[in-house]
């Protein structure tokens, strides 16, 4: 994905060597001491592309840098964090080089965000219709902001259309309801409707189905796939999606490309079929083995537990030499003598197939 010989049409978003770090907090503070490793390099040269009309999944454990990648792209980093290098090319323009005014225009209008937790991301004291109207106004679709009436008649029709687009029943009635009156699944749909309000070209969905029951999760995944794949009147209303999840199965369901993050680095990336069908990196292989029933067939009582990824901090300090995964790598730990490079050199992302990249010195062994 990183080669210059990419297909003629540019991808929608190119993240190039994106690095983000946390500033040192006051020394001696226990919280700071605990995340000392994280402060060195929270994101280390993360690169991936999002082609037009596709869903790309960003997969990893908590603390691996998934959400931080999203916030870096949006320019919404917390005060302690800072982008230290790289490029974020959105429709050919480098967002990191752009001024704050342009970035603000891009947020919402160019890149929509579906936040993880609707319970906190939605306002509890405003009706669904009011919140949608605000999003529409902010995008300049309803004239200037100001005199926001709760049941502004002007905002109702487009707001209703947004709710219909996320396939909510009875959109007219929903406009006057408040988030606490909705079920968890409906709130997620409202979140998606809000993100769609300004017809962004890219949607960033941060764990949009976490905590949902399986049938409702399936509905939301189906909706996102449909938003991306189904032709609409104009091309600009068909967004691409950056789908952030810790669940490899969910990623496999919706995405065409997958990017596996570990400790702030891309450890494996490529088309879903290739990454999950022929995983090269021991971390990806470990994640797959952590899916119960992945090797269906043997009843649980008699099955020998598969080797598990050992516990431990997923953040090996970036300044130390060696692979960040070395201390947890089941392959290396099984016989450290056989894998001498892991502790002393840092592996690079190497091609491992068509558009498939992996960051491991001994990938083929891992794939066996």
Partner 1 sequence: MSEHRHDTPRATEPPPVDLLRGVRLSKFFVLSGSALKKTQIVRAVQDASIEIGPAETVGLVGESGSGKTTLGRLLLRLLEPTYGRVYFEGRDITHYHERDLRPLRKSLQVLFQDAAAALDERWTVNQIVSEPFAIHGLLREPGARRERVAELLRTVGLGPELLQRRPLELSSGQCQRVSIARALALSPRFIVCDEPIAALDASDQLRVVDLLRSLQETRHHSYLFISHDLRMVLHLSQRVLVMYAGRVVESAHARELREQARHPYTRALLNAIPEVDPKRRRLRVILEGEPPSPFQPIDGCPFHPRCPRAHADPCEHEMPPLVPTAPGKAHEVACWFPHTD
Given 3-state DSSP classes, what are the helix, strand and coil percentages for the chain, each rounded to the nearest 5? 35, 20, 45
Cα 310 from chain centre? 25
User: Which CB contacts under 8 angstroms, 24+ apart, belong to 116-119?
Assistant: 116/67, 116/206, 116/207, 116/208, 116/210, 118/179, 118/184, 118/187, 118/188, 118/190, 118/191, 119/179, 119/187
Residue from the set 9, 120, 234, 301 that interacts with partner 1 by CB under 8 A: 301
Task: Tell me how crowded residue 221 is: count the other CB atoms within 10 A of its CB.
Answer: 18
Residue from the set 28, 78, 124, 300 that interacts with partner 1 by CB under 8 A: 300
- Yes or no: say if 329 and 322 are a contact pair by the CB < 8 Å rule: no
Site size toward partner 1, by CB under 8 A: 43
- DSSP letter string over 8-31? SSPPSEEEEEEEEEEPP--TT-HH
Establish if 269 lies at the interface with partner 1 (CB under 8 A).
no
Binding mask 20-39 toward partner 1 (x if CB under 8 A, else -) reads: ----------x---x-----
- Rounded Cα–Cα distance for residues 137 and 109 (Å): 11
Task: Please report how close the Cβ of residue 202 comes to partner 1 at its closest, in angstroms.
Answer: 23
Task: Please report how close the Cβ of residue 31 comes to partner 1 at its closest, in angstroms.
Answer: 9
Establish if 309 lies at the interface with partner 1 (CB under 8 A).
yes
Q: Which of residues 280-299 bind partner 1 (CB under 8 A)?
A: 286-288, 290-294, 296, 299
Q: Which of residues 111-170 bind partner 1 (CB under 8 A)?
A: none
Establish if 61 lies at the interface with partner 1 (CB under 8 A).
yes
Q: Which of residues 173-232 bind partner 1 (CB under 8 A)?
A: 183-186, 211, 213-219, 221-222
User: Under the rule (CB under 8 A), what is the footprint of partner 1?
Assistant: 30, 34, 61-62, 183-186, 211, 213-219, 221-222, 246-250, 252-253, 273, 276, 286-288, 290-294, 296, 299-301, 305, 308-309, 311
């Amino acid at each position: 994905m990183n080669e210059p010989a990419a297909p003629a049409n540019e991808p929608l978003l190119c993240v190039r060597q994106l690095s983000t770090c946390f500033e040192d907090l006051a020394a001696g503070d226990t919280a700071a001491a605990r995340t000392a490793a994280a402060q060195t390099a929270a994101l280390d040269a993360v690169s991936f592309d999002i082609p037009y009309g596709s869903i790309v999944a960003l997969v990893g454990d908590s603390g691996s840098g998934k959400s931080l990648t999203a916030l870096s792209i949006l320019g919404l980093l917390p005060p302690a964090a800072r982008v230290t290098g790289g490029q974020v090319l959105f429709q050919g323009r480098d967002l990191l080089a752009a001024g704050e005014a342009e970035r603000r225009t891009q947020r919402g209008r160019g890149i929509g965000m579906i936040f993880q937790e609707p319970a906190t991301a939605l306002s509890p004291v405003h009706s669904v219709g009011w919140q949608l109207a605000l999003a529409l106004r902010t995008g300049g679709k309803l004239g200037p902001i100001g005199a926001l009436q709760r049941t502004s008649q002007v905002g109702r029709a487009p707001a209703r259309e947004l709710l219909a687009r996320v396939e909510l029943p009875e959109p007219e009635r929903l406009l006057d309801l408040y988030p606490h009156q909705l079920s968890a699944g409906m709130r997620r749909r409202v979140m998606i409707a809000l993100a769609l309000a300004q017809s962004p070209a890219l949607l960033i969905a941060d764990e949009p189905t976490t905590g949902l029951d399986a049938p409702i999760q399936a509905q939301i995944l189906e909706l996102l796939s449909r938003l991306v794949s189904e032709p609409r009147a104009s091309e600009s209303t068909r967004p691409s999606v950056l789908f952030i999840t810790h669940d490899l199965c969910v990623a496999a369901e919706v995405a065409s490309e997958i990017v596996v993050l570990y400790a702030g680095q891309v450890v494996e990336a490529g088309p879903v079929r290739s990454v999950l069908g022929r995983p090269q990196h021991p971390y990806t292989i470990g994640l797959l083995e952590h899916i119960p029933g992945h090797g269906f067939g043997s009843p649980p009582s008699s099955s020998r537990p598969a080797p598990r990824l050992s516990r431990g901090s997923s953040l090996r300090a970036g300044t130390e030499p060696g692979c960040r995964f070395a201390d947890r790598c089941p392959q290396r730990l099984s016989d450290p003598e056989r894998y001498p490079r892991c502790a002393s050199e840092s592996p690079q992302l190497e091609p491992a197939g068509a558009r498939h990249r992996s960051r491991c010195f001994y990938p083929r062994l891992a794939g066996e």
